[in-house]
Structure 1
C-alpha cells in the first residue's frame, strides 16, 4: 500500500529589519561607558581621591609588611593612606602617607608612628598623639617610624628556652650537685632509720655510737643520783627547807615584837603632838605679853622725854634699853 507523501512546510516569515540599529548600538555603548565612568568617579570620591590632603613621610630601616593603600589608623579610625614606598639615598625606606586635611588635626608635632607586625595577620600602621594641645603636624613633615616585630622575638625566646633546658639537664644529671645532695640525704635517712638512730648519725660509726650511748646512760644515772641527793638535802628531815621554815617562824616573832614597839611609839608621838600644841599656845600668849610690855615702855619713854623737856636744869640723856 502506497503511503501519502507529506505536504511541503510553509517557509518562515522573514524578520523585519531594525531601524537605526547602528545608532542604537553606539548609544548603548556610550551609556555603558558613562555608567562605568560614573562608578569609577564615585569610587574615587568615596576613597577620598578628590579630598585635599597633606603629605607625611615616615622613614624606617625595614618596610616589610607595609603595602600601598594600607590605612594609617588613629584610635582605631583610618586617618591616612599609604601612597607610595620608596628607598631613600641614605638606605632607609620612605613611606609616603596622604592624610586628609579634615583628619590632619589629630596628628601633632609630638605624635609617634609605629609599625606593628604580629604573629597572626598583617602589619598595622598606627599613630599616637599624647598631647592634643601641641602644634599640628606640618605638611611634608618627615618622622621616624618605630617598628615592633613580634616574630623577631622568637629566636631570642628559643635561645632562652634552650639555655633553660640545658640548665635543667645539668641539674638532673647523675653527677650533678643536686644528685649528690639527694644521695647524701638518702644516706642520712638510712642512718636515722638504722639501729643507732640520731646518735649513730652524730657519732658516725656504730661502735662509737654504742660508746656514746653508754656514756649517755651513765651520765643519766649520775644525774638521777644527784637529783635524789639534792631532794634529800633540801626537803629531807634536816634539810635546808626545814631550817628555812624555822627561820621564817622566828622572823614572824621578831616582826610581831617590832609591830608592838611601833604601836607604843605611836602613843608617844601622840603625846608629843599634844605637848607641842600647848607650847604653841603658850608662845602665842608670850607674844601678846611682849606687845603689852613694849607699849608700856614706849609710854614711859615719852613721859621721861616730856619731863626732861620741862625740867629747867640740864641733865645727861638717859637711854632706856628695851629687852
Structure 2
C-alpha cells in the first residue's frame, strides 16, 4: 500500500510543537542559570566556617540577616536556636575569604534603632591579633536605643525635680545668692573687701584703727632706733668708747707684762747675787709699788669698760 502523505496542517503542528519545546527548554535553562547565578552570588557554594553568637534576646534577628564589618556584609545568619539556659544562639556562616577580618579580640553587637532594622555588626580593633578559629562562640552585645528611652526619661524627670528644688525660695541656691548679694553690698561700702570679710563696719573700722596704730608705732620705733640720738647712735658711740678702752686696756697689759719681765729679771738677779740683800730688797719694794700701780690701773680700766659697754648693767642700788 502506498503511504499516506501528511497533510500541511500536520506538518505545521509538528513544527510548532518543536518550537514550543525549544522555547520551554530555553526558558528552563534561563531559570536554572538565574538560580545558579543567585546561589553563587549569595555564596552558597563558597567554603564557610561557623560562628555562634549568644544573645539575651534575638528580637529583630531573622534567618538570612547579614553581619557587617565596616559596612560590608561578611557573614549571614543561618539558624536561630533557643539554648537550655534561655539565651538565643545565632549560628552564622562566615565565608573563608571574609574570616580574616574576625580576630580573637573582635566584638559583636546587635544594634536596634528607634527607626529602622536590626543590625549585627563586628568590630576588630586590633587586626594583628590571631584570626578567630572556626566554630567559635562569642557573646553578642545589645545596643537597643529604644531600651534607653525609659532611663533617659527617668533621668530627665530627676533633673527637672532637682531644678525645681533649686529654684524654690528656701533652697540652698537662693540662700547662697542672698549671701552673695549681702557680701557684694558690704564690698561696696567704705572699707571694701575688709568689711565683707569681717562682717560689719565696726570691726572693719577697728582693724583700720589697729593698722594705723601699728604704723605709728613702727614710725616711733624707727625714729628711736635710727633717728638722731637713737639707740643706733648710742650703740655706735658705746662701741667707739669700748674700742678706745680696749686699746688702753691693751696698753696697760703691755705695761704689766713689761713690769713682770722686770720682776723676773730682778728675781734672777736676786738669786745670782745673794750678797747684796739690802739692795735687792729695795729693788723689790720699788717693783712691788709698780705692780700695785699697774693692778690699780687695770681695775680702773675694767670699771670704765663695764660702764661704757652697751650691755653693761647699772651697779647702783636703788632704795625703795
Alignment partner for residue 132 of structure 1, among 122, 130, 133?
Answer: 130
Specify which of 139, 149, 153 is matched with residue 158 of structure 1: 153
| Counterpart among 10, 21, 27 of residue 26 in structure 1 | 21
How many residues align structurally? 240
Aligned residues of 2:108 and 2:122 also touching (Cα < 8 A):
yes
- Once residues 31 and 164 of structure 2 are traced to their aligned partners in structure 1, the CA distance between those partners, rounded to angstroms, is 70
CA deviations over 1:67-114 (Å, ceiling 9, x no partner)? 222223467654432123344555433323233456567768887644
Point out where structure 2 has 5 or more consecutive residues left out of the alignment: 1-10, 256-320
How far apart are residue 161 of structure 1 and its match? 3.4
Q: In the alignment, is residue 68 of structure 1 matched against residue 63 of structure 2?
A: yes
Per the alignment, residue 246 of structure 1 pairs with: 237
Whether the 8 Å CA contact 1:115–1:126 is kept in 2: the answer is no
- How far the C-alpha of 1:176 sits from its partner, in A, is 0.8
Q: CA deviation digits over 1:135-165, x for unaligned, max 9?
A: x334xx6654333334433432332333233
Match of 1:145 in 2: 140
> Structure 1 residues 249, 131: closer, same or farther in 2, change over 3 A?
closer
Query: Residues 50-199 of structure 1: matches in 2 within 5 Å?
Result: 50-73=45-68, 78-88=73-83, 90-100=85-95, 113-118=108-113, 122=117, 123-126=119-122, 131-132=129-130, 136-138=133-135, 144-194=139-189, 198=194
Alpha-carbon offset, residue 263 of structure 1: 11
Match of 1:35 in 2: 30
2:32, 2:143 → 1: CA distance? 42
Q: For 1:66 and 1:254, how far apart are their aligned partners in 2?
A: 114
Match of 1:184, SS state, is helix
Superposed CA RMSD: 4.8
Higher deviation after alignment, 58-67 or 187-196: 187-196
SS of the aligned residue for 2:238 comes to helix
Distance 1:262 1:104 in 2: 112
Shift of residue 179 of structure 1?
0.8
For 1:196-215, list aligned pairs within 5 A: 198=194, 202=198, 204=200, 209=202, 213=205
Does the aligned pair in 2 maintain the 1:234–1:240 contact within 8 Å? yes
Residues 73 and 127 of structure 1 are in contact (CA less than 8 Å); yes or no, is this contact kept in structure 2?
A: no
2-structure distance, mates of 1:234, 1:105: 92
Per the alignment, in what secondary structure is the counterpart of residue 152 of structure 1?
Answer: helix
Distance in structure 2 (CA, Å) of the matches to 1:215 and 1:126: 73
Matched residues in 1 for 2:33 and 2:109: separation?
37
Instruction: Please report how far the alpha carbon of residue 124 of structure 1 lies from its aligned counterpart in structure 2 after TM superposition.
Output: 1.9
Aligned CA distance change for structure 1 residues 249 and 117 (closer, same or farther; 3 Å): same
| Deviation string, structure 1 residues 18-70 (Cα, Å, up to 9, x no partner) | 77234323322321221121111121122222334454443322112322222
Q: In structure 1, what is the Cα distance between the partners aligned to 2:157 and 2:237?
A: 87
Q: TM-score, normalised by structure 2?
A: 0.54
